[in-house]
Amino acid sequence: MNSVTRVCPSCGAMNRIPPKFVSKAGKCGTCKAVLPANAEPIDADPALFDEIVRESPVPVLVDFWAAWCGPCRMAAPEVKALAGDMAGKAVVLKVDTEAHPQLAARYGVQGIPNFVVLNKGNVVRQTSGAVPRSEMRKWLEAAV
């Protein structure tokens, strides 16, 4: 089973979060302080990607990107801010198309950045090209 690591804001302890709980707040295993819902984009490999998409109770936005892509780098701050805005209401994944071309191929990604919104594993929307955070937010809100 895969997990996402979240740092406790109170004590700094590393906490492993099962994929089905990444959109929820929890408690630190060490100090029992509240761990807020994930507010950062999650770098996903194929196994983690599949588990989160399959088990997420909230919509998932996937940002297919590559380090060499200028528009991807321009979109990155918007994607990061969106993850913070939608913490607890959506999960934001980042998939490096150079490292995981099979995931990009699965979704027919031919140009990047490419954004896919999934709900309960089903594609709700797919768009290529950089877009403002407000537009991505509308996609996620409509996917509920």
Catalytic residues: 69, 72
Residues 6 or more apart whose CB falls under 8 angstroms from that of 121 comprise 53, 54
Q: What are phi and psi of 49, to 5 degrees?
A: -55, -55
Alpha helices by DSSP H, listed for the chain, are 46-55, 70-85, 101-106, 133-143
Pairing label, strands 14-17, 26-27: unpaired
d(CA 65, CA 99): 10
